[in-house]
């Protein structure tokens, strides 16, 4: 029997069925399980949620709660649409096999090679030559291997592209994001590599757009934006004659700007006609675009970007977007956050079992309005009294050199070299 209770009435041995409130506030990647760990109980008590549902047939009950007084249980989530019925239940991938710091060194070298490869692809396309997607398979294999060793390294590092590098590094970043998302969705290695290859070439049509539009430092005119919106169709036509370009890849190239509410482009497809890979491409493309420095604007903070994307109703497939957040974290690596203690910190690594409790580097006290010696805090550690209370804006560069707290400056120089 499902019973709604206040969070403070939760006890070990109860079966948690559903958490009320915005999913982004949930401290777990799953919600249906028996509470056996006091740390999990404390996370719920410390969180922003006020109520939950328990299943008394699968766990302990609470005496004195009148279920008729609290309304009906939450409606089940809508089932997947016909095109994604085979989508497996998302689950967490295995733990990283290499520490973030070590993987960042390798990821920087991969970013260098990736930038050169995509630059070459764009150059070939501008010269009217056929683009051979098969030739990118070794690079995709390298990116996939890096994501397997530590999913947070390359996807976080690739976000730190320069304005001049955006067109090329965006493709590398979307490739890595697609691989990480595919792993989170339970796709096998071959399917993850296919998703990564689709991500690597998804924007090849932009190679055929005027450079003065792609690099324009100000807002585009309506006519210029109309030209930009042609890139999916131009990329699709460009790849039709290439080697190793599958129907799935072509579909991502053509439809990664379609939306679930049917307002996307180029074809305003209804949700039922948007494939799973195109839905994945839409999420990965937008996230990297809004977190990156562009010719006309500075990128948003990663955690702010996740929160904004979550608010865009009708834009993304909810199942895929939720899996995307699990793959990155609610507060992705590099996010600025404020702690309950008044400290400001940057997220340096994720705790996959506790999305709201990552490893952070605290460096500033809002109570004294002064920097402090940087200190590493594992917010998921048993006994840790601190927690994240929200995102911290970096208005007007108030906190310079934040990236140096989670990635060695030598790694950044290596990536840019």
Q: What is the DSSP letter of 132?
A: -
pTM of the model: 0.78
CA quadruple 149, 154, 156, 158: dihedral, nearest 10: 180
Ramachandran angles phi, psi of 164, nearest 5°: -70, -30
> Per the omega criterion (within 30 degrees of 0), is the bond before 72 cis?
no
CA-based Rg of the chain, rounded to a whole angstrom?
22
Say what the pLDDT of residue 125 is.
Answer: 93
Name the H helices within 205-275.
211-214, 222-228, 231-239, 247-255
Q: What is the pLDDT of residue 93?
A: 66
- Which structural domains are found in the chain, ordered by start? 2-68 (no CATH), 100-328 (1.10.3210.10), 336-406 (no CATH)
Q: Could you tell me if 405 and 104 are in contact, meaning their C-beta atoms sit under 8 angstroms apart?
A: no
Reported as type and span, the H/E element at residue 54 is strand 51-55
Residue 402: how many CB atoms within 10 A of its CB?
21
Digit-by-digit pLDDT tens for the chain (417 residues) are 788 888 889 899 898 877 766 444 455 545 567 888 787 787 778 776 778 888 888 889 886 544 444 444 444 333 333 333 333 344 556 667 888 888 999 999 999 999 999 999 999 999 989 888 989 999 999 999 999 999 889 999 998 887 778 888 999 999 999 999 999 999 999 999 999 999 999 999 999 999 899 888 888 899 999 999 999 999 999 999 877 789 999 999 999 999 999 999 999 999 999 999 999 999 999 999 999 988 777 889 999 999 999 999 999 999 999 999 999 999 999 999 999 999 999 999 998 788 889 999 999 999 999 999 999 999 999 999 999 999 999 887 889 888 888 998 888 787 766
pLDDT score recorded for residue 414: 78
Tokens 């006609």 sit at which residue? Answer: 273
Give the pLDDT score at 23. 44
Read off the tokens for 412. 């950044």
């Amino acid at each position: 029997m499902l019973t709604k209770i206040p969070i403070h009435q939760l006890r070990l041995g109860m079966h948690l069925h559903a958490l009320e409130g915005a999913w982004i506030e949930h401290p777990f990647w799953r919600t249906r399980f028996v509470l056996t760990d006091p740390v999990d109980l404390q996370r719920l008590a410390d969180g922003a949620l006020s109520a939950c549902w328990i299943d008394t047939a699968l766990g302990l009950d609470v005496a004195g709660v009148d279920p008729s007084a609290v309304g009906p249980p939450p409606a089940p989530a809508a089932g997947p649409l016909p095109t994604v019925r085979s989508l497996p239940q998302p689950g967490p991938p295995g733990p990283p096999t290499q520490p973030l710091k070590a993987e960042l060194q390798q990821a920087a070298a991969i970013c260098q090679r990736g930038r050169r490869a995509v630059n070459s692809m764009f150059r070939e396309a501008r010269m009217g030559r056929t683009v051979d997607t098969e030739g990118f398979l070794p690079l995709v294999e390298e990116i996939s291997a890096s994501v397997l060793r530590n999913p947070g390294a390359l996807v976080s590092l690739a976000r730190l592209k320069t304005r001049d590098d955006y067109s090329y590094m965006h493709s590398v970043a979307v490739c890595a994001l697609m691989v990480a998302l595919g792993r989170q969705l339970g796709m096998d290695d071959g399917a993850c590599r296919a998703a990564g290859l689709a991500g690597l070439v998804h924007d090849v049509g932009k190679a055929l757009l005027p450079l003065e539009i792609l690099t324009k430092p100000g807002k585009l005119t309506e006519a210029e934006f109309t030209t930009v919106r042609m890139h999916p169709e131009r990329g699709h036509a460009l790849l039709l004659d290439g080697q190793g370009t599958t129907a799935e890849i072509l579909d991502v190239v053509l439809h990664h700007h379609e939306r679930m509410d049917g307002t996307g482009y180029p074809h305003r497809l209804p949700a039922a006609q948007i494939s799973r890979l195109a839905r994945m491409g839409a999420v990965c493309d937008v996230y990297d675009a809004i977190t990156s420095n562009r010719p006309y604007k500075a990128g948003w903070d990663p955690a702010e970007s996740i929160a904004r994307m979550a608010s865009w109703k009708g834009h993304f497939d909810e199942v895929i977007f939720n899996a995307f957040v699990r793959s990155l974290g609610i507060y992705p690596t590099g996010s600025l956050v404020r702690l309950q203690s008044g400290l400001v910190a940057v997220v340096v690594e994720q705790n996959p079992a506790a999305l709201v409790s990552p490893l952070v580097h605290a460096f500033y006290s809002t109570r004294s309005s002064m920097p402090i010696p940087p200190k590493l805090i594992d917010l998921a550690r048993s006994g840790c009294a601190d927690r994240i209370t929200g995102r911290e804006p970096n208005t007007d560069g108030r906190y310079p050199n934040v990236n140096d707290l989670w990635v060695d400056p030598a790694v950044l120089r290596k990536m840019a070299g």
